[in-house]
Amino acid sequence: MWLGSSSCSLIVRPYEQRTTSTMKLMTICFLSLAIGVGHSAAQEDTEDEIIKFKDFKKRHKKTYNGALERVHFRRWKRRKAIIDQHNENQRNSFILGDNAFADLSEEEWETYLLGVTIPKGFINNEAVVDVLAAGNVTNRQTTTPSLDLRTDPCMPPVKIQSPCGGCWAFIATTAVEYQTCATSNRTKIPLILSEQQMIDCSGSYGTKGCNGGFYTQAWDYIMAVGGQASNATYPYRAVAGTCNFTKDVTPVAGKLSRYASLAKNETAILLAMQRGPVAISVATNSRFTLYRSGIFDDDTCKNGTINHGLLLVGYGTTNGTDYWIVRNSWGTSWGMNGYIFMKRNVNICRLAEFAFLATI
């Protein structure tokens, strides 16, 4: 275990009779009692919990120094109890898991995993701001009963943003990667573009590096400078730095021509998805962070603050329940290989409020 124990006995004299040695002994006694309390708490940890925590560390390649081991264990243990209680309820439509973030603090979740900040001009704006060519997204378009772009040859591998609050850059980049590949006449090979360029260089468009931003701000920047570099040219570092992109000098591998703000309803979003992935913003909660599989239908997030960006890459229906296929930027160990199914047509986690389609 992490802590040891000791005991002491002490006769406490009136204050005027206390010697220096007595005071030292009292201090030692109080420290011993504190350690004893810690040891009692440690004894409550079962052998099974210790074994499972070791497995958790191994699965996610976790290492801790000194007292941090105990801190992370306590967080993991608390989350594991929540996970087990949730999963025992067979009425729940989704499963939770002790993923790589189960031992982090809520503050670390916010700092390392999120990052969407809604521009003031979009808040309380009911108008549909359409900068697409007229007629590109219309009700005349046909839809399919289901769509899954995860297996599309132009869908790049799932990436991981942590430790950086730059989800906005990842969502913006994936849209450019997909659209550039899909409109190319060459063999459809997934592109891997540079999120780091967005994080370092788009500050004048309203972004704040690893401290937040919005995907339309990144797209405005891309259109202004003529394109986005490849990740090989401008690799990801997960920390904001000096911009190393020069317009008309640095080679670009991805481009964007326009984007549209979609009407705040899921029918409009579904129609737009016939053109490609749709960027959305959501209000996350602890269940979202610990999601493993199934259709996420926790409606408590509808009362939360929008704080994270995702990408809709498909939709379907199973056992009478409509769902979205949603791509995250937390790596393939999260959710279903980096994806989550979210209940459709109920504005789950406020996902329909700030939906955008980018095209070439």
d(CA 253, CA 245): 13
Expressed in angstroms, the distance from the first to the final Cα of the chain is: 58
Q: Verify whether residue 308 is a known catalytic residue.
A: yes
Residue count of the chain, please give it. 360
Q: Which residue has the tokens 């979609």?
A: 262
Of the candidates 99, 301, 328, 349, the residue annotated as catalytic is 328
Q: What is the pLDDT of residue 122?
A: 75
Report which of 180, 183, 258 is spatially closest to residue 216, judged by C-alpha positions. 258
C-alpha 174 chain-centroid distance: 15
Q: What is the pLDDT of residue 2?
A: 52
Q: Verify whether residue 29 is a known catalytic residue.
A: no
Q: What is the pLDDT of residue 124?
A: 55
pLDDT < 50: residue spans in the chain: 1, 3-42, 126-140
Structure pTM?
0.85
d(CA 197, CA 169): 9
Q: What is the pLDDT of residue 218?
A: 98
d(CA 334, CA 338): 5
d(CA 252, CA 283): 33
Q: What is the pLDDT of residue 43?
A: 52
What is the 8-class DSSP label of residue 141? S
Q: Verify whether residue 139 is a known catalytic residue.
A: no
Q: What is the pLDDT of residue 37?
A: 39
Of the candidates 164, 167, 181, 349, the residue annotated as catalytic is 167
Q: What is the pLDDT of residue 4?
A: 36
Q: What is the pLDDT of residue 111?
A: 96
Q: What is the pLDDT of residue 66?
A: 87
Q: What is the pLDDT of residue 49?
A: 95
Of the candidates 164, 301, 307, 308, the residue annotated as catalytic is 308
Report which of 164, 129, 135, 184 is spatially closest to residue 236, judged by C-alpha positions. 164
